[in-house]
């Protein structure tokens, strides 16, 4: 695994742990109970982040390679050609393509990965081994509500990412924005 991917994965895991600790603190505050850090959910979220970040890094790289944000601009005239200045412009078509793919395929795959992982891990810790029917039931129950909730948050993050964040920083940017989403997920899994 290239060092950039390792670095982004570690940063994402730290941000995931941060969001889970914040969620635990919010729950403690809301329930008016003394705050005590619970390690099992923190580990679940850290492990999920370590598993899910590399495919997301590859996904973002694929999207950018296939639909580059910046494409060569049409030369405006003889002066630009003579100076050999390579200018670029933002490709709206590529931006729309990336955004659409990220908010459909990317959202579905990430939501399914999260729900399957959490259902399996939570069911495994409740019993000696997880059952596929329990995982399937949990995914069926939570998938659409989580997708719909995600569409209230992630499109703005995705658009900002594609417009202003270099591809090698997008997953970490997403993880940073995802601290808020991670709090939601932590609270959602706890319920």
Q: Which residue in 42, 82, 57, 41 sits closest to 4, CA to CA?
A: 57
Average pLDDT of 42-54? 95
Task: State the Cα–Cα distance between residues 171 and 149, nearest whole angstrom.
Answer: 20
Average pLDDT of 34-40? 95
Using DSSP's 3-state secondary structure scheme, residue 136 falls into helix
189 in Cβ contact with 118 (< 8 Å): yes
CB atoms within 10 A of CB 51: 13
Residue at token pair 């995982």: 135
Is pLDDT above 90 for 106? yes
**Structural domain boundaries of the chain?**
3-190
Percent of the chain with pLDDT over 70: 89
DSSP string, 171-186: HHHHHHHHHHHHHHHH
The model's pLDDT over 129-160, given as tens digits with 9 standing for 90+, comes to 668 888 999 999 999 999 999 998 999 999 99
Task: Please classify residue 124 by burial: count the beta carbons closer than 10 Å to its beta carbon, then call 0-12 exposed, 13-18 middle and 19+ buried.
Answer: middle
In 3-state terms, the chain is what percent helix, strand and coil (to 5)?
80, 5, 20
Average pLDDT over the chain, rounded to an integer: 88
174 in Cβ contact with 157 (< 8 Å): yes
Instruction: Write down the pTM of the prediction.
Output: 0.84
- Pick the more confident residue, 23 or 112: 112
């Amino acid at each position: 695994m290239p060092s950039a991917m390792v670095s982004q994965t570690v940063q994402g895991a730290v941000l995931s742990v941060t969001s889970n600790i914040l969620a635990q603190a919010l729950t403690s505050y809301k329930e008016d109970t003394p705050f005590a850090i619970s390690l099992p959910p923190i580990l679940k979220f850290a492990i999920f982040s370590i598993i899910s970040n590399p495919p997301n890094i590859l996904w973002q790289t694929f999207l950018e390679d296939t639909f580059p944000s910046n494409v060569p601009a049409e030369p405006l005239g003889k002066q630009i050609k003579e100076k050999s200045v390579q200018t670029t412009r933002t490709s709206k078509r590529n931006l729309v393509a990336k955004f659409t793919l990220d908010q459909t395929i990317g959202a579905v795959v990430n939501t399914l990965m999260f729900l399957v992982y959490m259902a399996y891990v939570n069911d495994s810790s409740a019993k000696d081994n997880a059952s596929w029917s329990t995982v399937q039931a949990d995914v069926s129950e939570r998938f659409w509500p989580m997708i719909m909730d995600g569409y209230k948050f992630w499109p703005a993050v995705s658009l900002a990412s594609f417009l202003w964040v270099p591809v090698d920083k997008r997953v970490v940017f997403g993880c940073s924005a995802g601290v808020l989403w991670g709090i939601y997920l932590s609270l959602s899994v706890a319920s």
